[in-house]
Amino acid sequence: MSLPAGERIYAVGDIHGCLDKLLQLHRAIRADLAAYPIARPLIVHLGDYIDRGPDSAGVVRALMGMVDLPMVNLMGNHEYTALAALAGEGAACADWLAYGGDVALRSWGLDPEGPRAAWHLPQAEHAWLAALRPHHVAGGYIFVHAGIRPGVPWAEQSLEDKLRIRRAFLDNEEDHGAIIVHGHTPTRGRAPERHRNRVALDTGAVFGGPLTCGVFEGEKLYFLAAG
């Protein structure tokens, strides 16, 4: 699998409010581009920007303010749950708080124990979260938060699987017709994993691991990390 000549993609794993690691990794990406210029660079963030870590709001604002490089930002299951909770869905509210939404709310100056009706993010930041994309396809790669359902045609893949699938995808060794680049499930060794049908980039930044970026160019793949 490869990318067309002149393209390079920097795919960043799950951030989860780790603003310092994100800023450090973005500096490493800029340094890599300065050392090895290319015509068409692209940064793809694989989702899960918020929850658990100390500064979800800061991560969202940093990504919104990053205008010097082309970028695609994908939806993660944490953003999807947050949006449902902010829309007032009761079950989603409980799920969001259980999976680190309380820390995210505090980063926006909101009280997770207060009335749900008072959970309002700044309009531009809420709109940014709502506009996140479900996937990105480039060359022989599919970039998606969690993975895909093996054996299901690409056009029929569900958003639920793209955001949340684990073992049915992770344990499958079949050729998917493309290399799937994903996050969502932290790797066991806190290092990126390269399999013959997928590349796993969630190296547990919020659990003390590094924040990892896979760099895809032609048929090459190498990694940058922060933290």
* Token duo for residue 224: 């940058």
Tell the residue number behind the tokens 């940014």, with chain if given.
128
Q: How far apart are CA 204 and CA 184, in angstroms?
A: 9
Q: How far apart are the first and last CA of the chain?
A: 29
CA 165 to each of CA 11, 92, 160: distance values in angstroms, whole numbers, following the listed order: 19, 18, 7
Domains with residue ranges and CATH for the chain: 7-226 (3.60.21.10)
CA 53 to each of CA 19, 132, 223: distance values in angstroms, whole numbers, following the listed order: 8, 20, 23
Q: How far apart are CA 71 and CA 67, in angstroms?
A: 8
Please give the pLDDT value at position 1.
73
Residue 83 CA to chain centroid, in angstroms? Answer: 16
Q: How far apart are CA 7 and CA 40, in angstroms?
A: 5
User: What count of residues does the chain have?
Assistant: 227
- Give the torsion sign (CA, 70, 76, 78, 82): positive
Q: Could you list the pLDDT tens digit for every one of the 227 residues in the chain?
A: 789 999 999 999 999 999 999 999 999 999 999 999 999 999 999 999 999 999 999 999 999 999 999 999 999 999 999 999 999 998 999 999 999 999 999 999 999 999 999 999 999 999 999 999 999 999 999 999 999 999 999 999 999 999 999 999 999 999 999 999 999 999 999 999 999 999 999 999 999 999 999 999 999 999 999 99
CB 169 within 8 A of CB 158: no
Phi-psi region of 126 (alpha: psi -120 to 50; beta: other; left: phi over 0): alpha
Put simply, whether the predicted model's pTM sits higher than 0.95 gets the answer yes
User: How many C-beta neighbours within 10 Å does residue 111 have?
Assistant: 11
